[in-house]
Amino acid sequence: MSDNLEFIELLKKGDRLAFTQLVEQYQHIVFNTILSIVQQFQDAEDLTQEVFVQVYRSIHNFRGDSKLSTWIYRIALTKSLELERKRKAKKTIGFFKNLIGLDDSKADVKDFYHPGVVIQQKENAVILFKALQKLPENQRIAFLLIKAEGLSYHEVGAIMNKSVKSIEGLIHRAGENLRELLTSYYKQTN
CB atoms within 10 A of CB 24: 9
Print burial letters for 150-181: b (CB count within 10 Å at least 16), e (below 16): ebebebbbbbbebeeebbbebbebbeebbeeb
Compute the mean pLDDT over every residue in the chain, rounded to the nearest whole number.
82
Q: Give the pLDDT confidence score for residue 118 in this predicted structure.
A: 52
Domains by residue range for the chain, with CATH: 1-115 (1.10.1740.10), 116-190 (1.10.10.10)
pLDDT bucket at 156, cuts 50 / 70 / 90: very high
Average pLDDT over residues 11-30: 94
Return the higher-pLDDT residue of 156 and 103.
156
pLDDT at 141 over 60: yes
Q: Give the pLDDT confidence score for residue 114 in this predicted structure.
A: 56
pLDDT bucket at 63, cuts 50 / 70 / 90: confident
Return the higher-pLDDT residue of 52 and 101.
52
Return the higher-pLDDT residue of 182 and 102.
182
Return the higher-pLDDT residue of 143 and 87.
143
- DSSP code string of 101-157: TS--PPPPPPP---TT--HHHHHHHHHHHHHHHTS-HHHHHHHIIIIIT---HHHHH
pLDDT at 153 over 90: yes
